[in-house]
Structure 1
Amino acid sequence: MPENVSGSTVIRRYAAADENAAMDVWSRAGGLAHPFIPGEGEGERARKMREIYLVHAENWVAETDGRVVALLGLLDAEIGGLFVDPEAQGTGVGRRLVEHAAALHGSLSLEVYEKNTGARGFYARMGFVEESRRVDEEYDEVMLRLTRRAPENHA
């Protein structure tokens, strides 16, 4: 059942018909967040997103005025990706998607590039703490594993 975020924004399950809109959000948001990743938002990374992540993850979208403005991918209680349209960043849509994931799964974890300072600040404000770090061998970039305990009211 869709969750109403604000007057005209709804959180709902991703549907196959959302593919192009979700890919557009992913490409633009990912390119801004990861300028240090060669080919971010295109090519092989886009193919994997389209053929693997959008097919196999538990995906949710935020839709404002009938337009997809954010995408959240979950692998059980791990946030595999959160991408918010650059024009919708700062509107609370990303926060609502994370809270939606917490309502579904309780404790959450994710990995974020150390260089992605905007996302790191967002997740810190959302109560995530660093648990560990590793080097992503494909891009030789430091990845931080962040976790957040379940909200007190989560069963």
Structure 2
Amino acid sequence: MMLKTAWRLSFHTLPRERAGTGTGAAGRCGAGNRLPRRRAVLIVGQVDQKMIIRNYRTSDEAAVVDLWSRASKLAHPFIEGEGEGERARKLREVYLVEADNWVAEISGRVVGLLGLLGSEIGGLFVTPEEQGRGIGRTLVQHAVNLHGTVTLEVYEGNTRARRFYDRMGFTEQGRRIDEETGHVLITLRRLAT
């Protein structure tokens, strides 16, 4: 069943939190620094439910690691150990701490993850049972709304994601070999509209 979105977008500012208690680089301003971090929630109205795009919270870790693991194994079957072991440790200890992470939530359940490193989409994952329902598209649009032009890297062997990014207006900028896996990564960019 496809979600029919009404594309009613509204941003809500959540209470400001003390710097250093949030996730992502914007939340870590150094010891004793009390600079506020503005957080936003994007609500996308849908026919039967609402999808909320909000900042990742540490309490989301188990759900995010689970959805990332399942989505990664599906998207990258050509990578040995994908979605587990050292790669899962790196997600928990590095990417969920260092990136500006956003989650998509439907009915209180985390169904998508967007990890931003500045204007680069460092990771985009949607739980397998929710793929093809507009969640990834909404997360990409959220990144574009925040940064304008965005870039990302996708494995050459991830043909489903490559088709998705092509439909989203991304164009190829270059290729390189991923030192960690030995697989080809394609650099893509989407210009601000």
Common topology (TM > 0.5): yes
User: One-letter code of the match for 1:144?
Assistant: I
Partner of 2:182: 140
Residue 24 of structure 1: CA displacement?
0.6
The correspondence for 1:104, drawn from 132, 136, 146, is 146
Partner of 1:93: 135
Secondary structure of 1:11's partner? strand
1:13-32 Cα deviation digits (max 9, x unpaired): 10110000000110000000
Partner of 1:75: 117
Secondary structure of 1:31's partner? helix
Give the whole-Å Cα distance in 1 for the aligned partners of 2:108 and 2:50: 8
Give the whole-Å Cα distance in 1 for the aligned partners of 2:106 and 2:171: 30
**Runs of 4 or more above 4 Å deviation:** none
Give the whole-Å Cα distance in 2 for the aligned partners of 1:22 and 1:41: 12
- Aligned length in residues: 151
Gaps of 5+ in 2: 1-39
Gaps of 5+ in 1: none
1:114 aligns with 2:185: no
Give the whole-Å Cα distance in 1 for the aligned partners of 2:178 and 2:143: 25
Q: Which has the higher Rg, Structure 1 or Structure 2?
A: 2
1:37-68 Cα deviation digits (max 9, x unpaired): 11101000000000000001000000011000
Cα RMSD of the aligned pairs, angstroms, is 0.7
Residue 137 of structure 1: CA displacement?
2.1
Taking only the aligned residue pairs, the percentage that are identical comes to: 62
* TM-score of the superposed pair, with normalisation by structure 1: 0.96
1:32 aligns with 2:74: yes
Residue 150 of structure 1: CA displacement?
0.6
Partner of 2:43: 4
Trace 1:12-27 onto structure 2 (pairs within 5 A): 12-27=54-69
Partner of 1:129: 171
User: One-letter code of the match for 2:147?
Assistant: H
RCO greater where, 1 or 2, for CA within 8 Å and sep 6 or more?
1
User: One-letter code of the match for 1:107?
Assistant: T
Trace 1:56-75 onto structure 2 (pairs within 5 A): 56-75=98-117
Higher helix share: 1
Secondary structure of 1:2's partner? strand
Give the whole-Å Cα distance in 2 for the aligned partners of 1:138 and 1:51: 17
